[in-house]
């Protein structure tokens, strides 16, 4: 499913989503972000402008000029690879530590179909997510730019936060995966932001591909 986002040149202007600008406006652009396997409610929040969609290349301006605070909701193992300096962190998903028979079976299936390739752990919704965000950001009128790797988990998080009373929410459209070098001026960690969600066997395939590309350029 595609979500079409109409926005101004400057990110801080995105906080006023009352009426889309005319297509003849000299600074008007349209961005299409593909969204898969997500319920309708978060989509409606974004399409209506209740949650403001901000693409990665405009995120720094939204933070520096628009007053947004960046809330990273990725699990800890993704954030350890790469993170935006000064961003807040509350994971929406945490590792499922239950070792009951049914959960163990699910973990084995997960590892066989997904985990070995992606390196992703078997997770569960963080039951304390909203409480942890409230402790970190008690003022629910604070502008929060919610971000994850690909944009799906952060879309779910914005819906939860909106239901819990947060009124100035932004969504990093497409997630960090769509970021390019320089979109966020200060990044910490051993990997690039756009590669932080990649793990397992796919991580080594990526490294080989990047090496081959580098060799090709040198030749």
Active site residues: 148
Closest CA to 169 of 36, 40, 34, 73: 73
* Dihedral angle over CA of 171, 177, 182, 188, nearest 10: 90
Q: SS3 helix, strand, coil % of the chain, rounded to 5?
A: 40, 20, 40
Cβ pair 126, 100 in contact under 8 A:
no
Q: What does the alpha-carbon distance between residue 154 and residue 213 come to, in Å, rounded to a whole number?
A: 31
C-alpha count within 13 angstroms, C-beta hemisphere, residue 191: 21
Handedness of CA 55, 60, 65, 68 (dihedral sign): positive
* Dihedral angle over CA of 86, 84, 35, 119, nearest 10: -120
């Amino acid at each position: 499913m595609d979500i079409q986002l109409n926005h101004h040149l400057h990110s801080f202007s995105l906080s006023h989503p009352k009426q889309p600008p005319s297509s003849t406006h000299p600074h008007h652009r349209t961005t299409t972000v593909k969204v898969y396997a997500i319920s309708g409610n978060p989509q409606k929040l974004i399409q209506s402008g209740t949650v403001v969609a901000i693409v990665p290349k405009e995120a720094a301006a939204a933070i520096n000029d628009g007053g947004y605070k960046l809330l990273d909701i990725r699990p800890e193992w993704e954030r350890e690879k790469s993170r935006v300096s000064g961003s807040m962190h509350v994971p929406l998903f945490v590792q499922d530590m239950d070792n009951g028979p049914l959960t163990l079976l699910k973990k084995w299936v997960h590892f066989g179909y997904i985990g070995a390739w992606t390196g992703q752990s078997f997770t569960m919704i963080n039951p304390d997510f909203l409480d942890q965000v409230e402790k970190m950001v008690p003022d629910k009128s604070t502008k929060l730019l919610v971000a994850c790797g690909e944009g799906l988990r952060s879309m779910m998080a914005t819906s939860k936060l909106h239901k819990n009373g947060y009124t100035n929410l932004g969504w990093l459209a497409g997630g960090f995966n769509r970021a390019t070098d320089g979109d966020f001026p200060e990044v910490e960690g051993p990997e690039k932001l756009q590669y932080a969600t990649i793990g397992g066997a796919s991580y080594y395939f990526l490294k080989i591909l990047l090496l081959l590309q580098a060799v090709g350029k040198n030749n």
